[in-house]
Amino acid sequence: MRLLLDTHAFIWAMGKVSRLPSGVATAIRDPENELWLSAVSLYEIEYKRGRDTVLGRLPPDLIGAATDMPAQWLVVTPEHAVTAARLNRVHKDPWDRLIVGQAMVEGLVIVSVDPAMKAFGVQTLW
């Protein structure tokens, strides 16, 4: 499987693996699966870090933390941006919309507890 971690799944995979369902944790650790992280998650975490104690305790080097997983970074392309902007309005969070746009364009399964992700019609794992 090709997995794109939603921001909260990325955070939990870095240090609170116990918050992940066992099947999700197994899929993330499975070397047969491709693990992807969105640059959007970096922006979301850093944007919110000063106002959130959980985010404030994350490692300052999130890029390095992803390498330790190991995961690959997914940059935002023009195709991702256009796809995200054209999504229906069932979910208004701009970070989630971009992650969904990326998953749609790249054919990735989103790892997310957020039920709103399914409303976009993307495949999810949780």
**Residue 113 corresponds to which tokens in the numbers above?**
């507890």
Average pLDDT rounded to a whole number, residues 20-43: 95
Q: Using one digit for the tens of pLDDT, what is the confidence trace for 41-73?
A: 999 999 999 999 989 989 999 998 888 888 999
User: Given this model, what pLDDT does residue 52 score?
Assistant: 92
Inform me whether the pLDDT recorded for 117 exceeds 80.
yes
Q: Using one digit for the tens of pLDDT, what is the confidence trace for 75-115?
A: 999 999 999 999 998 888 999 999 999 999 999 999 999 98
Average pLDDT rounded to a whole number, residues 24-45: 96
User: Given this model, what pLDDT does residue 124 score?
Assistant: 96
Give Cα 42 to chain centroid, integer Å.
10
**CA distances from residue 121 to 78, 110, 117 in whole angstroms, order as listed:** 21, 11, 7
DSSP string across 40-82:
HHHHHHHHHGGG-HHHHTS-S-HHHHHHHTT-EEEPPPHHHHH
